[in-house]
Structure 1
């Protein structure tokens, strides 16, 4: 009965809080933050000694439709002509620009709890920078672990024999580990981002909902774009940008809904204590 009440409350809050409007704003900020964030990530690639084809394969596996070509073009251009200066001032500027999307997410999560921002600008900005680093971490681990884990496993098999049954189990665990890391990172995001104090564990439900929802909606949208949509035929080169914006919009919806779930449970617990 309690879960049904919370579910109905989430549906009501999604309509009243204008989640789609907030997600549209997030998509705009995410788009502005995307390439600075990519610039920050690929600046670290030389330290990891990862082959360029592995990076391209990772992008191809997850980016919907022709969006992968847009992202790959920027990544490949940098990897072919790296600039050492980016690792000093440039990398800080890229991280600062990327945090604008996290700032927008902080404002959106404040709205899900119905609270105003009373923290200082410096504190919020530092928090946004820290959460941006956390989101970069989740992106790298969640997207890279299932792919790079395969290469790591092959490398180990050159030295020791691993039974096929164990290999199959490890292949499953690679995906499970990526999902668990994503849930934990979102718990950190939902705990620190809103101007509302609550227990760290209380962010678990929303983090799980956002993780499962994002995985499902990303796979579903990628399948739709690959098999049914005709954005490129209709909009030409703009079709790629439109697909990217829709994907970021859907991502924003799931992140906000995760916050709405946490806020609904928070209000329910608060009312039960009265």
Structure 2
């Protein structure tokens, strides 16, 4: 409970909610170029456009998902060769700005003063951006893995499963389990390499677990809320963008809370171990 109190207090007193808003803005302006680049890149692999957009569908609020889908499909329809080169450059730059914002926020969570020179720090952030840009496509292999498991279950043991319990319940657990496992590993790497300084793996597990679970829960709950509230009446045609911005803000809050949990968990464990050293 002390860990929770400290994390919540720091989140508000050190104004991490402002930093979450900054990160959400960078994510907003980079999401469409990033998805266009992914669609262009995935054309070289046995992955369909629906797999990539479908990966977002369970998490993105309905209006926002429709907005992303329509824009991406309209731009990609204009030609993939030129689109890929342009979208890569814009995605790389805009994504690096989001990464730099997250690095500054996580350094603040650990109270780390960045001692790298401007260009050294910039090249490091660009390198981290490249890692995540080429790591994210791996996540789009999950729909293929789901389809393979679905086929195996259907052909081998579906009869037994139908006798024991409704098939769709089993498949829902498998599907969300795969997604949660991937997100946990993704956030584990995220919290390991983003802050400056060396982070022990055991100290980033709590934040990664928190982010993997809470991001999914928060996204689903926000999606239900957004679908029940008529934002169009207030914002008109901007409703989809506003909802998407709120979703990115909520996601950024979860990411920064995970970083604060890791920082405070590490600090508390080192304080406990200090008298014995």
Q: TM-score range by the shorter chain?
A: 0.7 to 0.9
Pair 1:39–1:63, CA change in 2 (3 A): same
1:1-274 equivalent positions in 2, closer than 5 A: 4-88=1-85, 90-133=87-130, 135-136=132-133, 140=137, 145=142, 147-153=143-149, 161-164=155-158, 165=161, 172-227=173-228, 229-272=229-272, 273-274=274-275
Say whether the 8 Å CA contact 2:59–2:216 is kept in structure 1. Answer: no
Structure 2 unaligned runs (5+)?
A: none
Pair 1:257–1:180, CA change in 2 (3 A): same
Partner Cα separation in structure 2 for residue 20 and residue 141 of structure 1: 30
Q: Between Structure 1 and Structure 2, how many residues are aligned?
A: 267
1:161-218 CA distance string (max 9 Å, x none): 3211397756533321221121111111111111232312210000111111111111
Q: Tell me the C-alpha RMSD between the 2 structures.
A: 2.7
SS where residue 107 of structure 1 aligns?
helix
SS where residue 236 of structure 1 aligns?
helix
Say whether the 8 Å CA contact 1:29–1:101 is kept in structure 2. Answer: yes
1:97-133 CA distance string (max 9 Å, x none): 2221111111110111112211234443344344435
Q: Once structures 1 and 2 are overlaid, which stretch shifts more, 216-225 or 22-31?
A: 22-31
How far off its partner does 1:270 sit? 2.3
Partner Cα separation in structure 2 for residue 89 and residue 69 of structure 1: 23
Partner Cα separation in structure 2 for residue 59 and residue 243 of structure 1: 14
1:35-65 CA distance string (max 9 Å, x none): 2221221121211243444445444433203
